[in-house]
Each structure stands twice: as C-alpha cells, then as structure tokens.
Amino acid sequence: MLFTNKNIVKYCQLILDIGQKVLSEPYRLAIYEEEDKSLISANFIEENIIFNEINISFDLILNDKVIGKLIIIDENLKTFNEVERQIINDFNNIKELISETVINLLIDQILIGQAKENLNRYKETFESLPKGVITADQQGIVTMINTAAEIATGFERSKIVGKRIMNIFKGTDLIEVLNKGITFFRKEISCNTKKGQRRVLVSASPIKEGLEIKGMVATITALEDARKVLDYFADEPFNNKRPELIGESLAFKSAWNKAIKVACSSSSVMIRGESGTGKELFAQAIHKNSMRKDYNFVSINCAAIPSELLESELFGYEAGAFTGAKKGGKPGKFELAHKGTIFLDEIGDMPIDLQAKILKVIQERSFFRIGGTEEINVDIRIISATNQNLENLVQENKFREDLFFRINVIPIFLPPLRERKEDILLLANYFIDIYKDKLKKNITGLSDQAKNLLKNYDFPGNVRELENMIEYAMNMETGEKITANNLPFINNQVRIKRGITEEFNLDKAVSRVEKDLIEEALEIFGRSTAGKLDAAKKLGVSKTTLYKKLNKYNIKK
Ligand SMILES: Nc1ncnc2c1ncn2[C@@H]1O[C@H](COP(=O)(O)OP(=O)(O)OP(=O)(O)O)[C@@H](O)[C@H]1O
C-alpha cells in the first residue's frame, strides 16, 4: 500500500485504533526485557501461549531508546480486523509508529488512571472525615463541602458549591484568609437555613502554593458538638485520663472536674487540703492533662528544704557563687520547669524573703541564677499546694498578700477522706491490688468486719494513712481477705470512739465492744468447734460463756 496525502489521515486513524485495541485488551500485551527476554509484565498466564500465539512484536521505544519488546497476541485472529492486520503485517516501517502510539497511550492510561485513583481516594477521605470541611478557591467560591459540614451547618451541598463563602458565613473575616493569608480559629458563627438557625464554630486557613494563596479550607463544628466534647472532659475523665487517681464521691469528682477544666490554661492553681489528700497527685494530673505535658513537671517541697538552700534550689547558681557551689553551676527548679509546670508544695512554709523573689518570677517570668548576670526567661505554670490556712498567715504577716493573690487564681479544695467515705473501700481495694502484686500475696479483698472498721474510721492521715494501713495488713495477713485483726490502729480508735461518741450508756458500750471482740476472734480462729475453743481461750472465757454470748449478740455460729 502506498502512502498518499489522501490516505495518510486514514492510516493515522487506523494506527490509533490499533493502539487503542491493544490497550483495551490488556491481557494481550506483554513487555519483556530487551536483553534476556525475561518477562517484566504480562496479563496472560501461561508462557507457552505467549510464544505460540505471537503474531506482532515491536521494539518498545521510549525517548529514542529501545527499552523492551512489545508483544501483541492476536489470539484466533479476533482482535484485529483484516485491514488492521494487513497494516500491521505489511508495513514494517510503521511498526515503530504503532509502538510509539501504544506506549504513549499506555503512559496516558497509567497517568490518568493514577490521577483518577488519587482523586477518588481524596474525595472518599474528604467525604468520610468526621469533621465538617469546606474548601474554596482563590475568589472564595466554594469548591467542596463534605457531609459532616452539611450536617453541622444545615446547608445543602447543591446550594453552597459555587457560591461565595463570605456570603454564606456572613459577618466573618473569612475574606482576610484569602487577602492576607490569616488563619483564624474557632469563630462562633450563625448559619441561617430553612430549617432554622445553627450555631457553628469555624476555623479557616489559607491554602498556599509557595507564597501564593490558592484558596482556603475551613473546618466546621456544630456548637452543640463542641459543648459535648467539653462536657465529656468535665464529666467523664475518670476512666481514661486518671488511672492513678481514685475517687467516685461527689466531693472528689467536683474537685477533679475543676482541675481538668483548668488544665489547659496557664493560670496559677492552688491546691488546698489536709495532708495526704492527694494534692501532689492532683498537680501531676493537671500537668499531664495540659498542653505542657511533654515538658517537665518539677516538684519542690518548700517545707522539706532548709530555707538557706531553698533559694539555690529554686533559682540555681553559677560556678563560684558561694563556697561549695558546683564547678559548672546548677540550674534551678524554675529553669528545669521551663515550658512545663512547677509544683510548689507546702508553699505556706516559704520564707518571707524568698516570697518576694517568687513574686518577681511570676510577674516578670524571668530571674537570675545566684551569682549570675544573665537574665533567664521562663515559661512556667505554677501550681502550689498547702494544708495551712494561708489567709491567717497573710493576716499574721507571714505570707505576702500580693503573692497569695497571684498564686491563688484557681483554688481547688481536696476534701478529707472522712468527707468522702464512699471512696474509702474503693481506695482500699485499689491499694490491695497494688500490694497484692508487690508482695506476691493472694489476698482478694476485705472481710466484712474490716470493711466496717474502715468505713467508720476518721483517717486523720487521709489517703496516705489508708495506703499505709493496707500495706501493713497485707504484710501481716495469711488468709485470703484482710481481717479486722490486721488493722490494729484502726481497731483501737474505732472501739474507743464508738464507746465514747455513740454509746453514752456504759452497758451498751461494753456490749458493743464485747460483740466486736467476739466477732473478730471468730474471724481469726474460724467458726469450727476447734476455732471457737481457741477464740474462747484467747478471749479469756469458757466455751459455754462464748456460746451464751454468741446467742446473746446473735452472732453467726
Ligand atoms: N485519689 C487518690 N487515688 C489514689 N491514690 C491517692 C489518691 N489520693 C492520694 N493518693 C495517694 O496518697 C498518697 C499521698 O498523696 P499526695 O502526696 O499526693 O498527698 P498530699 O496531699 O500532697 O500530701 P502532703 O500534703 O502530705 O504532701 C500518695 O501515695 C498517693 O499516691
């Protein structure tokens, strides 16, 4: 066949058709390495088919280089029609052209396929985001809105896409995002829809390519959802955020809720409560739940450190600042707490001259090391704690009033254990679990009588005392449950207290103590006949007397 001006267009079209056919039946396409003819890819399965059925084979040319072989199998002569086959077989000189056409089509197909796939993936991701998102182009025309944004705003997709975003969220600075590249956070906006008004929080930032602003992306949260999140942190932080702080009583929960609410701010917190109520643990929990959690929590007990040393502990010192100063100097607690939290425990014991220096750090967020000339800037959150009456100390001029106000911005009161009796058994069991592992004991809980004793005890030392008590009992106990016998300190206090406070009648008080002692003895020696005999011996009464008393007090035999 001869190439003429007339038929050249026809041939070109034919070549394109052939290329497209090759690609539309991809299982007929194989690509081999040129050198060793090993298969790079083929969409058909058995090699022998390839070799038996080969009837067209081209060099694979890309950028003027032969990169392989293109083999097309025209199985049973079905793929190509007569004319096409004739072109392929007769015109060796246009095989390269076909090869190039196929390759170009192939590359296009791959690129278009990938782009489509990526686009689909982005669309799916965008669509399934749980947060509402709206995008707009350079002119502020909305290009996309996902379902979460539709739900939050109440706007319908079809009515939003193509409109100017500034007209949708009226009265906002969204235009500034496009004009000046400003990002804005959580602005409360009203959306007026046919279904009524919806309040949403909108944050928006520019989409940039280099310095050029190409559009914007806005995230939308329904105000009620934002509130739910806050409520969640206020009401439900117990399970996942506070594993080491135990307490379910209202008094405890309300202190915790307050702590968690203020965790994310940088305001100074003052935790007040009796000794052992968990003030330090609370301070740690506030730090762990704050933005500062990745930096240090530095604790210093102002009462435990001699006042002469306190200053250098807090502010650090330079080499040679005083006799005995370390060679290279030492950073103080304030420096170590940079970007984190400093916990000033027992702040009521802070010497008055140091109080002035602390006040300066709080006001200026900077200080000098002892003997230092360089001012050190710090970004710290101060949590202080005391079990003293600071107001009285202020009255007595032992505590600076200005410092008191500075550190007492958010006061949190931790209730003593006697005011949250619901927490006693919860904490006791928590400590039993801890010491069970530590002491490798198989103790599973408390006997009924031990429970009663704990519930009625005053706990002057609060949680710390309870923990010590459980540790002692766990060491002593040989059975599976902690018995009253192994709570000796508590035993005495409860018995005496009950005798005095509850039973003014002497006979009744004596009976109560008698009954308690018998129950305790039975718990220790058991209720078998032999156990009762031992119990009677220990109580210094005969077996008959013990039985009489069991009947009298209606004690389980
Ligand atoms: N709610 C709690 N859950 C679990 N353990 C607690 C709780 N409260 C306190 N504790 C434990 O009690 C002990 C005392 O706690 P912490 O040192 O925080 O008390 P504090 O009020 O700072 O005491 P102090 O005033 O004597 O310094 C610690 O062993 C702590 O683990």
Q: Is 60 helix (H, G, I), strand (E, B) or coil?
A: strand
DSSP secondary structure string for all residues of 127-157: HH-SSEEEEEETT-BEEEE-HHHHHHH---H
Pocket test for ligand 1, best of 244, 429, 463 (most atoms within 8 A of CB): 463
For the chain, counts of helices (H) and of strands (E): 24, 20
| Residue closest to 406 by CA, chosen among 555, 292, 267 | 267
Planar angle of CA 332, 334, 340, nearest 5 degrees: 130
For helices 462-476 and 422-439, give the axis angle rounded to 10 degrees.
40
Q: Yes or no: say if 102 and 94 are a contact pair by the CB < 8 Å rule.
A: no
Measured distance CA(353)–CA(480) in Å, rounded: 55
How much distance in Å is there from the Cα of 249 to the middle of ligand 1?
16
Q: What does the alpha-carbon distance between residue 438 and residue 471 come to, in Å, rounded to a whole number?
A: 10
CA-based nearest residue to 456, from 406, 418, 429: 418
Question: In this predicted structure, what is the pLDDT of residue 391?
Answer: 93
State the pLDDT at residue 27. 38
Structure tokens at 368: 């000098």
10 Å CB burial of residue 434 (0-12, 13-18, 19+) is middle
Which pLDDT score is estimated for 49?
A: 40
pTM beyond 0.80: no
Write b or e for each residue in 173-195: b if 16 or more Cβ atoms lie within 10 A of its Cβ, otherwise e: ebeebbeeeeeeeebebebeeee
| Ligand 1 center to 481 CA (angstroms) | 25
Structural tokens at position 38: 């090993």
Tokens read off for 530: 């032999």
Distance 464 CA to ligand 1 centre (A): 6
Atom of ligand 1 nearest to the CA of 280: 18
- Collapsed DSSP state (helix, strand, coil) of residue 202: strand
pLDDT at position 493: 54
Per-residue burial over 13-23, b = 16 or more CB atoms within 10 Å of its CB, e = otherwise = ebbebbbebbb
Residue with tokens 């984190």: 340
Q: What span, in angstroms and rounded, lies between the C-alpha atoms of 216 and 165?
A: 10
Q: What does the pLDDT profile of the chain (557 residues) look like in tens digits?
A: 333 444 555 655 666 666 666 555 543 455 555 455 554 444 433 334 444 444 556 565 555 655 555 555 555 556 667 776 666 666 555 556 666 666 666 666 566 666 667 677 777 778 877 778 999 998 889 998 998 888 888 888 888 889 888 888 877 778 888 888 877 766 777 787 777 777 788 888 888 877 788 888 888 888 767 655 544 443 333 333 334 789 989 999 999 999 988 888 888 999 999 988 999 999 999 999 898 988 999 999 888 777 778 888 899 888 877 766 667 778 889 999 999 999 999 999 999 999 999 999 999 999 999 888 899 999 999 999 999 999 999 999 999 999 999 999 999 999 999 999 999 999 999 999 999 988 888 999 999 989 988 988 888 889 988 998 899 899 988 899 999 888 876 655 555 455 444 445 667 767 877 888 888 888 778 888 888 888 888 777 778 888 888 888 888 87
**pLDDT at position 5, please?**
44
Residue with the nearest Cα to atom 30 of ligand 1? 278
Looking at the CA of residue 283, tell me the nearest atom of ligand 1. 18
Write out the two tokens for 176.
């500034």
Q: Specify the amino acid at residue 143.
A: T
- List, in order of start, the domains of the chain with CATH numbers: 5-110 (no CATH), 131-226 (3.30.450.20), 236-415 (3.40.50.300), 422-552 (1.10.8.60)
Alpha-carbon gap, residue 310 to 465, rounded angstroms: 28
Q: Give dist(CA 8, CA 88) in Å, integer.
A: 15
* Strands 410-413, 269-272: pairing kind: parallel
With a threshold of 0.95, tell me whether the complex ipTM lies above it: yes
- Give, for ligand 1, the residue of 238, 270, 271, 277 to mutate: max count of ligand atoms closer than 8 Å to Cβ: 277
User: How many angstroms is it from 539 CA to the middle of ligand 1?
Assistant: 38
Atom 12 of ligand 1, nearest CA residue: 464
Rounded to an integer, what distance in angstroms lies between the CA atom of residue 407 and that of residue 502? 43
- Measured from CB, residues less than 6 Å from any atom of ligand 1 are 244-247, 273, 275-281, 345, 385, 387, 427, 463-464, 467
| The CA-based dihedral angle spanning residues 82, 83, 86, 92, taken in that order and rounded to the nearest 10 degrees | -150
Which tokens hold the place of 133? 């998102």
Q: Which two tokens stand for residue 378?
A: 């710090």
CB 69 within 8 A of CB 57: yes
CA-CA distances (angstroms) from residue 294 to 339, 341, 362, 378, 384? Answer: 9, 10, 22, 16, 20
Burial zone of 68 (CB within 10 Å; 0-12 exposed, 13-18 middle, 19+ buried)? buried
Ligand 1 centroid to residue 351 C-alpha, Å: 25
pLDDT for 62: 59
